[in-house]
């Protein structure tokens, strides 16, 4: 073996040993783990800033958060599902039952119109209107009637809560008095609030959900007052007393608007009823003169156009005499 070969082997051995020393020794000896541990101990953690906000600002932020939640709940209440709409009408039907009733009504009207010789197009139109329009109209009618009953007795219910709180009763027990003595639908709505609170939902949030079942501004006012009182504290009896006065003033305003708009409603009713009455009178006095409207194709077109214009006029008058505030 020559000297050159020995020197080359020595250099290779030294190189391999140096590489092993640099990369393998820290892991095998635990030196790297010690360095990481030491670094974790001496690493500077970010200093948590101490809140300098005043209690008034914190309370204001809590109120803003509560109002944002109530506003989001109100937007959700404006696009209800079919089950919610059925509940607002005071019915305990399931969605399947409601759809089944609408389908049966639509098929029945379609069959009767078809058997009476009304034609396929008329039968389809009347069947669709009966199956889809009549159940929806019934739901809206029942909902409005239930909301009117709720508004009639709601200020009295708020007064009961105010008197109970002034007498020393908690808000929960005051609502129990309403459930025991108030008429429907006040009783069922406050029972739903108590049942929601019983399962662990905060009372302020349970009162806020009243607006989802009764989409009225008065119910929303009540939920906002109770939710804010639960968050920020304050004199609840005074706040609810002010709310009761506001509710009664709104009720008086609605009655005043209703009385002032009765003349316009009577005029609209007379104007809307005049064409059918004149048509019936002409048919009784001279049937041959007006029978062309349903015996001649041009008469059919005139009847359809007249019905469309009459419907548009009635809808415009209804929009003009309805006052929302």
Q: What span, in angstroms and rounded, lies between the C-alpha atoms of 57 and 61?
A: 6
Tokens (6 digits) for 199 = 């399962």
For the chain, 325 residues long, give each residue's pLDDT as a single digit of tens: 555 555 455 445 545 555 555 455 555 545 555 555 545 444 444 444 444 556 666 666 666 666 666 566 656 656 678 888 888 888 888 888 888 888 888 888 888 888 877 677 778 888 888 888 888 888 899 999 998 899 888 888 888 888 888 888 888 888 888 888 888 888 888 888 888 888 888 887 888 888 888 888 888 888 888 888 777 767 788 888 888 888 888 888 888 888 888 887 888 888 888 888 988 898 888 888 888 888 888 888 888 888 888 888 888 887 877 766 5
- Alpha helices (H) along 43-119: 55-77, 82-88, 95-115
Q: What span, in angstroms and rounded, lies between the C-alpha atoms of 168 and 151?
A: 27
Exposure b/e, 260-279, CB count within 10 A at least 16 = b: eeeeeeeebeeeeeeeeeee
Q: What is the pLDDT of residue 41?
A: 42
CB of 110 closer than 8 Å to CB of 124: yes
CB of 165 closer than 8 Å to CB of 254: no
Q: What is the pLDDT of residue 59?
A: 61
Question: Which residue in this structure is represented by tokens 């908690």?
Answer: 170
Q: What is the pLDDT of residue 94?
A: 84
Q: What is the pLDDT of residue 242?
A: 87
Q: What is the pLDDT of residue 324?
A: 64
Across the chain, how many H-helices and E-strands are there? Answer: 18, 0
Residue among 140, 124, 130 nearest 105 (CA): 130
Residue among 213, 234, 209 nearest 223 (CA): 209
pTM of the model: 0.63
Q: What span, in angstroms and rounded, lies between the C-alpha atoms of 308 and 314?
A: 10
């Amino acid at each position: 073996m020559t000297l050159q070969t020995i020197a080359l082997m020595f250099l290779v051995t030294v190189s391999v040993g140096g590489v092993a020393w640099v990369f393998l020794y820290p892991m095998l000896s635990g030196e790297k783990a010690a360095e990481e541990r030491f670094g974790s101990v001496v690493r500077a953690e970010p200093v948590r800033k101490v809140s300098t906000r005043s209690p008034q600002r914190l309370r204001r932020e809590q109120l803003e958060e509560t109002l944002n939640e109530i506003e989001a709940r109100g937007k959700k209440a404006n696009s209800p599902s079919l089950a919610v709409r059925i509940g607002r009408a005071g019915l305990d039907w399931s969605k399947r039952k409601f759809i089944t009733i609408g389908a049966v009504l639509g098929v029945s009207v379609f069959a009767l119109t078809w058997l009476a010789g009304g034609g396929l197009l008329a039968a389809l139109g009347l069947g669709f209107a009966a199956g889809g329009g009549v159940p929806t109209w019934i739901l809206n009618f029942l909902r409005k009637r239930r909301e009117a009953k709720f508004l009639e007795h709601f200020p009295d219910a708020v007064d009961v809560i105010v008197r109970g709180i002034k007498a020393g009763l908690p808000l929960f027990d005051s609502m129990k008095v309403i459930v025991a003595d108030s008429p429907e639908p006040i009783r069922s709505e406050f029972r739903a609030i108590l049942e929601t609170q019983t399962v662990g939902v905060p009372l302020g949030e349970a009162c806020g959900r009243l607006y989802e079942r009764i989409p009225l501004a008065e119910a929303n006012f009540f939920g906002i007052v109770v939710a804010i009182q639960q968050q920020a504290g304050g004199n609840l009896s005074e706040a609810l007393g002010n709310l009761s006065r506001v509710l009664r003033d709104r009720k008086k305003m609605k009655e005043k608007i209703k009385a002032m708009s009765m003349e316009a409603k009577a005029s609209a009713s007379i104007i809307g009823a005049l064409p059918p009455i004149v048509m019936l009178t002409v048919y009784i006095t001279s049937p041959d003169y007006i029978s062309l409207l349903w015996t001649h194709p041009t008469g059919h077109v005139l009847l359809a156009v007249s019905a469309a214009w009459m419907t548009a006029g009635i809808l415009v008058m209804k929009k003009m005499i309805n006052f929302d505030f």
